Amino acid sequence: MSNHAVETAERRVRMPISPERMHALFNPRSIALIGATERSGWSWATFANLTPDRFSGEVHLVNPKGGIVHGQQSLSSVEELPENVDLAYVMVGPAAVVDVMKQVAAKGIKSAVLLTSGFSEAGPEGAALELEVLDIALQHDITILGPNGNGFANFAGHVTPYGLSIPRVPLIGGIGVVLQSGGLASTVMDLALARNVGVSMLTAMGNELTTTLTDVVRYMVHDDATKVIAMFVESIRDPEAFRVVAREALEAGKPLVAMKVGRSAAGARVANAHTGALVGDDSVIDAVFSQLGVVRVDSLEDLVSAAEIFASGAQFKGNRFGVVSSSGGANEIIADCAEPVGLVFPDFNPETEQALREFLPAFANPRNPVDLTGFVVVQEDLPERAAEVVAQDPNIDGVIYWTDLPRERPADPATHEANVDYYRRQVQAFAKAETPVVPVGTAFTDITPYGAEVSVASGYPSGLGGIHHGIAALGKAVQWQLQREDRLKALQDDRAVQPLDIDAAPGSTFGEHRAAELLRSEGVPMVPATLAASPEEAAAAAESFGFPVVVKLAADEVEHKSDIGGVALHLNSGDEVRAAFSAVTAAGARAGVVDPKALVQPMRSGGVELIVGVVQDPDWGPVMAVGLGGIWVEVFKDSVLHPLPVSRERVREGLTELRAAALLDGVRGAEPADLDAITDAAMSAAAVAERLGNRLESLEINPLLVRGGSVEALDALITWR
């Protein structure tokens, strides 16, 4: 990145934008299209999006040649604009942008959208140009969306200065959309139209010169028209600001749903610690989002579906669901999709089954999931009656109701009225249900214009995203609601951290001896150890511990002792210890150690080996990994990550999420591990990492040996930045 680009990025982050200024940007009463021309499709599209039926304010056109543009008289300069213009929408070429922005500043216009490309995304020259624009914005207090962005569409506010064609405006609803991609913005808008989903506003960020994704999210958190915020994220420029706004969203009860791209860029931060194999870029994002209560999805379809279920306002007390459908095959697909996302289908209460038998045909299944069979064609009210009964079951927290809206308009108007009445009756039945009823469609297909018409006329939802995407979204929603209070409580931990002053040279490493001494002094349970400078000292130490013992090379210069023959195990006599001392120190000397010594420790065996490591992420700060350790670290990469600070409850919960969690429960008669003791050890290590602050590059305990109630660190390594 060029120096100009770096300077631009640094200065951009430092420029706070108040909610009032964001409101002014997104709710202008008058707009100037600067660079309007009939030769540009961008200009035609933007002007069409601001016609009187879509925007009730004034639209002024500026073209250097003046004359009639898009059927309207244009002005030849910014200077000719009236004094009441709220937003400048700039479409001139990159070479003219600086002069135009100076004119915008002189006119006193405080908000601008820069459609123009050719800035930092185009290289050093563009980055330098972008910095000039930023200087103007800073000097004159102008809020800029872009450059290299399509603008925004505030559907709830009826103002859409957006650079691509919007042939049909989506339903106005509770979903706010913010994307770090101009092209995908229109795709998401099309998906919303196709699925008949209501959108409050949509913003394409561009280069985020002054207005960042975080600024837009904060605006949406405080926007009454927005109930859920859907994000397409390429990068988060200011992690700390994002943490703050995510907490505000949790407090407001507004879910953040994110599709974060870049999984393939995952890479270890620290190569000289095993923890580096666990803590990659994308793994950190997963952990951060989980901690902040951000719902991460993998596709645009899931982004829309998850936002849809959140926007519906359905509230679930748990993950127990009843299913009502007229297809055994659909029930099987629903069951397969539900298990991976944590939804369960418990048995109905006997009274529920009896109530269902009273009106279901004898060949229908009254158990969970309910199969009404094709008899619904004969008896139309079966679905809503069954859903109403199932929703009253005390074992159920919600009902999954399989159905689809009609697709083709019937020739007979009476049939149309019957269709509307059929779905209206279902809506009325759902409203009387004691738990939420969630309609789920069969597949993620377009809602036809006729289906959308029936939906609007009857008040019936569109049928959540098809079974695959819909059940995935439902699982995300349930999980978010059940975890929200715990996540919020953890984020409100404002305890002070007392810095730990350690004499360590930048870039140096503390090998096992010095690392263990530091960790032991801070409450981490370390295996006993004695530093020996001679074979006789080593033998004496072994006698004091009792055999068998371990002898290890003690040298900060060697980070992985076993790789060079610096570890000797299962030593059962003084002679073996003396020989081992000579062998490991000789290995150290061959590796370049100036004054090799050895550590003597009691030999430990059995149990489960874990790893507790902390790596300093350049964006998100210290991140702790707790997982399967020993020689299996890089083989299985089975760990749970925790951005620090983290609550004790979350660390303990994470132990149960490991793929190897069954090992901690006790296998083949082994004593179950003390999860509280493991948690205590991990929290002690986390406290050390936090107290060391930015000086720490990585801290690793591997293995942390767990044998029932005994938890002991057998090795440690600390690397300094």
Do 682 and 653 contact (CB within 8 A), yes or no? no
In a domain, 520, yes or no: no
Are 117 and 143 in the same domain? yes
The token pair at 517 is: 């001494």
- Domain finish residue from 562, 579, 602: 602
Indicate the residue type of 549: V
In a domain, 519, yes or no: no
Within 8 A by CB and 6+ apart from 149, the residues are 113, 114, 115, 182, 204, 205, 206, 207
Interatomic CA distance for residues 354 and 359, integer angstroms: 9
Interatomic CA distance for residues 402 and 323, integer angstroms: 8
Within 8 A by CB and 6+ apart from 705, the residues are 527, 604, 607, 608, 609, 610, 711, 712, 713, 714
In a domain, 355, yes or no: yes
Q: Is the pLDDT of residue 592 over 50?
A: yes
Mean pLDDT confidence for 204-210 = 93
Q: Is the pLDDT of residue 271 over 90?
A: no
Distances, alpha carbon 11 to alpha carbons 47, 116, 135, 145, in Å: 33, 21, 9, 16
pLDDT digits (tens, 9 = 90+) for 464-488: 889 999 999 999 999 999 999 999 9
In a domain, 521, yes or no: no
Q: Is the pLDDT of residue 274 over 60?
A: no
In a domain, 164, yes or no: yes
In a domain, 493, yes or no: no
pLDDT, the chain, mean: 92
Are 86 and 104 in the same domain? yes
CATH number of residue 144's parent domain = 3.40.50.720
pLDDT digits (tens, 9 = 90+) for 387-433: 999 999 999 999 999 999 999 999 999 999 999 999 999 999 888 88
Mean pLDDT confidence for 613-640 = 89
Do 370 and 396 contact (CB within 8 A), yes or no? no
Residue 270 has what pLDDT?
41
Long-range contacts for 223-226 (Cβ within 8 Å, ≥24 apart)? Answer: 223/156, 223/176, 225/156, 225/157, 225/172, 225/174, 225/176, 225/200, 225/201, 226/156, 226/174, 226/175, 226/176, 226/200, 226/201, 226/254
Interatomic CA distance for residues 144 and 209, integer angstroms: 7
Q: Which residues span the domain enclosing 72?
A: 1-148
pLDDT digits (tens, 9 = 90+) for 49-81: 999 989 999 999 999 999 999 999 999 999 999
Interatomic CA distance for residues 427 and 462, integer angstroms: 12
Residue 11 has what pLDDT?
52
∠ Cα 546 548 553 (to 5°): 105
Selected residue with higher pLDDT from 9 and 316: 316
Residue of 648, 612, 602, 619 whose CA lies nearest to 633: 612
Mean pLDDT confidence for 556-571 = 91
Lowest mean pLDDT among 276-280, 527-531, 578-582, 694-698: 276-280
Q: Which pTM does this prediction carry?
A: 0.91
Are 335 and 482 in the same domain? yes
Are 142 and 171 in the same domain? no
In a domain, 199, yes or no: yes
Q: Is the pLDDT of residue 111 over 80?
A: yes
Are 32 and 107 in the same domain? yes
- Domain finish residue from 148, 183, 209: 148
- Domain finish residue from 148, 166, 184: 148
CATH number of residue 678's parent domain = 3.30.470.20
Selected residue with higher pLDDT from 319 and 276: 319
Number of domains in the chain: 5
Are 569 and 660 in the same domain? no
CATH number of residue 409's parent domain = 3.40.50.261
Indicate the residue type of 36: A
The pLDDT confidence band at residue 381, using thresholds 50, 70 and 90, is confident
Residue 662 class from Cβ within 10 Å (0-12 exposed, 13-18 middle, 19+ buried)?
exposed
In a domain, 503, yes or no: no
Selected residue with higher pLDDT from 463 and 101: 101
Are 112 and 156 in the same domain? no
Are 278 and 341 in the same domain? no
pLDDT digits (tens, 9 = 90+) for 524-556: 999 999 999 999 999 999 999 999 999 999 999
CATH number of residue 532's parent domain = 3.30.1490.20
Orientation angle between helical segments 300-311 and 466-491, nearest 10 degrees = 70
Mean pLDDT confidence for 350-361 = 95
Are 380 and 462 in the same domain? yes
Mean pLDDT confidence for 338-347 = 96
> What are the residues facing 710 on neighbouring strands?
707
Residue reference for tokens 């819909």: 470
The pLDDT confidence band at residue 490, using thresholds 50, 70 and 90, is confident
Interatomic CA distance for residues 697 and 269, integer angstroms: 9
Are 142 and 219 in the same domain? no
Are 323 and 456 in the same domain? yes
Residue 267 has what pLDDT?
40
Q: Is the pLDDT of residue 12 over 80?
A: no
Residue 266 has what pLDDT?
40
Are 125 and 156 in the same domain? no
Interatomic CA distance for residues 58 and 50, integer angstroms: 9
Q: Is the pLDDT of residue 264 over 80?
A: no
Residue 290 has what pLDDT?
95
